[in-house]
Structure 1
Amino acid sequence: MGPKRDDAHGSKSTASSSSASASNDAILAAVNKYGADLAKVSLQMDDMKKSMEGRLDTIEAHLSTLQNDHGQAQQRLDGLEEALSHTDVRITALETTCAELQVANGQLKAKINDLEGRSRRQNIRIVGIREGEEKANPTDFVARLIPELLGPANFSKPVKIDRAHRSLKPKPRDSEPPRTIIIKVHNDRDVPKILRLSRQQAPLHYQGRKVFIFPDYTADVSSQRQAFSNVRKKLIDAGAKCSLRFPAKLQVVYNSEVKCLPHLQMLNGLPPP
């Protein structure tokens, strides 16, 4: 009976040993398999690491470039701000100078207009005389024309004319109105007399054509006086008497009351003279 037990016990030990060996082999196989997998994973991790490092290097390079560009842009911006500051100072100085020049220019224009007006005080303009009537001597023609238009009895002595000429425009065609004759009268007392008689005896005629005599104003004064045209017409239609005082002031007589209203020019959309 004893040996049989030993054999059974030995068989069990052998079987147990075989089973343990098989289990170890399986474990070793699994470990080897996982080791290979881990090696692959490790290789993949190394590749990923290298890829990430390469990408990080690229990002760092781009970042460095951006930092350099930002630094340069900041320097340019600082330069522009400094230049803009200097420009603002210069513009302010120029605006101040411009305002001063505008004031000085307005004063000079007023002075020039006044001087030009004074230089024309002895001038008159005659409108409506046909081209060529004055022949080659307009001065003598005008000296004879004025008494003929206004009446010789009104002039105790001949009207002395310093010079006379047509306005400096191209000679008109036959179908166009003639150019104005501009005259400088020698005696300053004759000018208001001629203008007064022309108003009193209007309308004047010469060789069947209407003739008008006006003062010789500057272009600026003429435009200011002309601006009253619509207002004067309305006032005359309303029964008022109107006249213009130099340089451009409207005098209105209504119900025996006299008023001088330069601001009426604003009714035509223009500033007062």
Structure 2
Amino acid sequence: MVSNLRKYKYEGTSTTRPSTSSGKSSGSPTSAAPEPSHTPIMDITSIKADILSSLRKDISVVIREELRTVLAEDFESIKRELIAVRSEIANNTTAIHAELDHMKSNVGAVEKGLSTWTDEVVSTQRTVKDLEKLVGELRDKCEDLEGRMRRGNIRIMGVAERPGSSSPAAVSKLLKEVFQMDKEGIVERSHRSLVQRGAGDKPRVIIARLHNEGDALAILRKARDRGGRLQFDGNTISVFPDYTVNVAKARAAFTDVRKMLRGRPGVRFGILYPARFRISYNNEEKEFLDATEAMDYVKKKVIPAAEPEN
């Protein structure tokens, strides 16, 4: 820019003024007027335009240099950061690959173990099914054996609890007196039920085993024929078969149906061992193992539709 401004440097030359004297010139003619100076006339507008153009170029150069310097520093910083990030990503990627390999190894081991355990579970399930079947058969067999062992037993309810009232001799005497037997039956053993009895509770049941199963069946038949109207020492007593717990529960489920049918003309019913409820009505016989089905049948077929249910 300085070099551009040099062309506008002012270089004026001083002209010598003509000398004047108070006297007259000595016969010589008056000297001629000085020649005009050759100093160029400057155009202000063009000077301004040139200066502005020169300033723009210089400023643009300076700005470019400054921007280049600043951007170079930023680019270097960004480059360093990118290199650091790339290195960190590479390290993380290596660690991730190692972790994935470890996980793949674990998953493979788990899959192998699951496959083995699946086979074991399938085998165990088959074994469990076989055992369930076997347990069911054994349970039924035990139930049958226990029921057969109880065939010579009877249960006597309503006998007052006194010392010696449940002894075999006392039970034998009771049976002879109540059922008017020719001779006393042989009672092998007898005892009260093993439940706790509180003050004011009913007497506990006497469980007696007779030596002859035929005597037990005859006593139960007589008790059934007399409809439970048995008296001993002024008390009403009842005699029942001695069933297992499961059989007793299954037979007790039909109690409501039996109460509903008791006393109805033309209806015969009973419970066959172990727990089959049989109904005879209008020359038709039905057997039920489920108390709910038996109740539905009685309400639909046996009880007249016009008769209100109690």
Q: Which TM class, normalised by the smaller chain length?
A: 0.7 to 0.9
Deviations 1:215-242 (A, max 9, x none): 1111111111111112222333653121
Aligned match for 1:57, one of 87, 91, 103? 87
Note if 1:114 corresponds to 2:141.
no
SS in 2 for 1:213: strand
Aligned match for 1:181, one of 188, 200, 206? 206
Q: CA deviation at 1:262?
A: 3.1
SS in 1 for 2:151: coil
Call closer, same or farther: CA 1:87–1:27 in 2, change over 3 Å.
Answer: same
Note if 1:71 corresponds to 2:96.
no
Task: Answer whether contact 1:249 1:260 (CA < 8 A) is retained.
Answer: no
TM-score under structure 2 length normalisation: 0.71
Q: CA deviation at 1:34?
A: 3.1
2:210 corresponds to which letter in structure 1? Answer: V
Q: Between 78-87 and 179-188, report the one with greater CA deviation.
A: 78-87
How far apart, CA to CA, are the structure 1 residues paired with 2:280 and 2:58? 133
2:170 corresponds to which letter in structure 1? Answer: F
Residue in 1 that maps onto 2:274:
247
Unaligned runs of 5+ in 2: 1-37, 41-49, 296-310
Deviations 1:132-182 (A, max 9, x none): 2535x711000100011112xxx2322111111111223x12311111101
2:271 corresponds to which letter in structure 1? Answer: L
Note if 1:200 corresponds to 2:225.
yes
Residues 1-273 of structure 1 correspond to what in structure 2 (within 5 A)? 31=61, 34-132=64-162, 134-135=164-165, 138-151=167-180, 155-170=181-196, 172-201=197-226, 202-236=228-262, 238-239=264-265, 240-255=267-282, 257=283, 259=285, 261-267=287-293
SS in 2 for 1:261: strand
Higher relative contact order, chain-length normalized (CA < 8 Å, sep 6+): 1
Counting matched residue pairs gives: 250
1:231 corresponds to which letter in structure 2? Answer: V
More helix by share: 1
Task: Answer whether contact 2:278 2:287 (CA < 8 A) is retained.
Answer: yes
Deviations 1:94-143 (A, max 9, x none): 111111111101000000001101111100010111112535x7110001
Call closer, same or farther: CA 1:238–1:52 in 2, change over 3 Å.
Answer: farther
- How much identity, in percent, do the aligned residues show? 26
TM-score under structure 1 length normalisation: 0.79
C-alpha RMSD over aligned residues: 3.1
How far apart, CA to CA, are the structure 2 residues paired with 1:198 and 1:94? 52
Unaligned runs of 5+ in 1: 1-7, 12-19
Q: CA deviation at 1:29?
A: 7.9
Residue in 2 that maps onto 1:3:
none
Q: CA deviation at 1:245?
A: 1.6
